[in-house]
Amino acid sequence: MSGPRIVGFGGTTREGSTGEQLIRAVLERCARGRASTRLFAGAELAALPHFAPEQPERSPAQRDFVEAIRAADGIVIGTPGYHGGVSGLVKNAIDLLEDLRADQRPYFEGRPVGLIVCAAGWQATGVTLAALRGIVHAMRGWPTPLGLTVNTVAQKPFDPAGALADEAVRGGVEELSRQLMSFVRP
């Protein structure tokens, strides 16, 4: 029998995006728990046209993203704190999920959503996490009890080889993955 499907999206278009690396780290741990995983990182999200509700046409990239979330058993969202909130890149992808509104299982209904926020200061990590939790609640999802926040100035989560180097962040990644996997109902 195949394992749960976990889909992650987010990070930034910046080379070496901390958010992207953290989503990857969570997905890797889910894969060790027999999940099949997929990541939509900054470049893929940047290829999504600006969502416009009155426009029914969808690009292949938009359809691919919507179908992946529709089929997901668990979701991971990672955003930077930009001006005290969720980045436009990530919010545009979330807004596209309006296409799931009329589904039998709308939006994120019944599924765990692991949340990751990276910002250059503690204040933005906190307010952005609160905003992201509000979005997931509005979309009927279940944010994991742990929201992983990383201050990318005060913490250096990865070494130059890309391995998790910060003990506290590694613990957060492990716990977020554990909570996500313990809640999925494939």
Q: Interface with ligand FMN by CB under 6 A: which range of 12-20, 27-35, 56-64, 155-163?
A: 12-20
> Does residue 124 interact with ligand FMN by CB under 6 A?
yes
Member of 4, 6, 18, 116 binding ligand FMN (CB under 6 A): 18
| 3-class state of residue 3 by DSSP | coil
How do 112-119 and 142-151 pair as beta strands?
parallel
Type and span of the H or E element at 87: none
Closest approach of ligand FMN to the CB of residue 128, in Å:
8
Instruction: Give min distance, CB of 84 to ligand FMN, in A.
Output: 5
Inter-residue contact 130 to 98 (CB < 8 Å): no
Q: Which three-class secondary structure state does DSSP give residue 125?
A: helix
Minimum Å distance from CB 156 to ligand FMN? 11
According to CB under 6 A, which one of 88, 121, 134, 171 is a site residue for ligand FMN? Answer: 121
CB 31 within 8 A of CB 4: no
* Span near ligand FMN by CB under 6 A; candidates 61-69, 101-109, 114-122, 160-168: 114-122
Residue 96 · residue 68 · CB < 8 Å:
no
With a CB cutoff of 8 Å and minimum separation 6, the contacts of 169 are 22, 148, 150, 155, 157
Q: Which is nearer to ligand FMN, 149 or 184 (CB)?
A: 149
Chain residues binding ligand FMN by CB under 6 A are: 11-12, 14, 17-19, 80-84, 118-121, 124, 152
